[in-house]
Amino acid sequence: RARSASIACGGLGTFVQDPLERRRNAELLFGLIAAGTLRLEINQRYPLAEAVAAHTDLIQRRTMGSSIFIV
């Protein structure tokens, strides 16, 4: 029987319940980004008005990595 690969992920709130720990983690994360130690790579940017085009690109496998909407 053939199987499909899948990836599942959750939000930070799923794993870290304590608000103070979440805040410390966020401060560390954003500090690394601000210092240039951690670089985020966003592969596609779509104006919100182009949501249909973004979805079409996704289902037709024309995207790779992260995509965001510009609001």
Whether 7 is covered by a domain: the verdict is no
Range of the domain at 51: 12-70
Whether 3 is covered by a domain: the verdict is no
Cβ atoms of 35 and 27 closer than 8 Å: no
Whether 27 is covered by a domain: the verdict is yes
Whether 47 is covered by a domain: the verdict is yes
Whether 37 is covered by a domain: the verdict is yes
- The b/e string for 26-48 (b: 16+ C-beta within 10 A; e otherwise) is eeeeeeeeeeeeeeeeeeeebee
Give the pLDDT confidence of 26-63 residue by residue, as tens digits: 999 999 999 999 988 889 999 999 999 999 999 999 99
Q: Give how far Cα 4 sits from Cα of 7, 29, 41, 53, 55, Å.
A: 10, 33, 26, 26, 21
Domain count, the chain: 1
**pTM given for the model:** 0.54
**Amino acid, res. 33:** I
Instruction: Please give the sequence-ordered ranges of beta strands (E in DSSP) within 1-71, or none if there are none.
Output: 42-47, 66-70
Residue 65: predicted pLDDT: 86
